Structure 1
Amino acid sequence: MIEKKTTFGNRVRCYNLERTICDFLRSRNRCDEEMVISAVKNYAVYKEKNLNLLADYAKHLRVEKVLRRYMEVLL
């Protein structure tokens, strides 16, 4: 969990990008496939990505194989 400021200046708690990507991959059957692909593509070009943290989350959330399949194509 991290804290971010909204446009109105309120602080809210939310998940970081790596956790959000893993959540997308976990629920990929309930989401539009294009949305999942778009999220992973945008993360792949993100300058501040943390691939080690992403791999840790994927391991804990049991989406390692799916993540690897998407990331092999993009990186």
Structure 2
Amino acid sequence: MRKHRTRQVAETWLLKCKKKAIEALPEGLREATLVPDLTPFSVNRFMSKLMPPFEGYNEKIVEADKRQSSIKGKL
């Protein structure tokens, strides 16, 4: 119950902050934020990346997978 109440308090606080941020906007923008965006997500969307890919990363993964499968084959 403690975790549930903590989560409820956090969500309530976030909603209050959201309402205050919307109230701080100019009238035209405020009206635009209250209209829900019901457009579907793009089918071709990509996962976000927190950092650029490393050179040769995929090759290292494939190599490690091959080594792991060869070890499993010996067992």
Measured against the shorter chain, the TM-score band is under 0.3
User: Hey, which of these two has a bigger chunk of helix by percent?
Assistant: 2
**TM-score of the superposition, structure 2-length normalised?**
0.26
Larger Rg: 2
TM-score (norm 1): 0.26
Q: Quick check: which one's strand share is greater?
A: 1
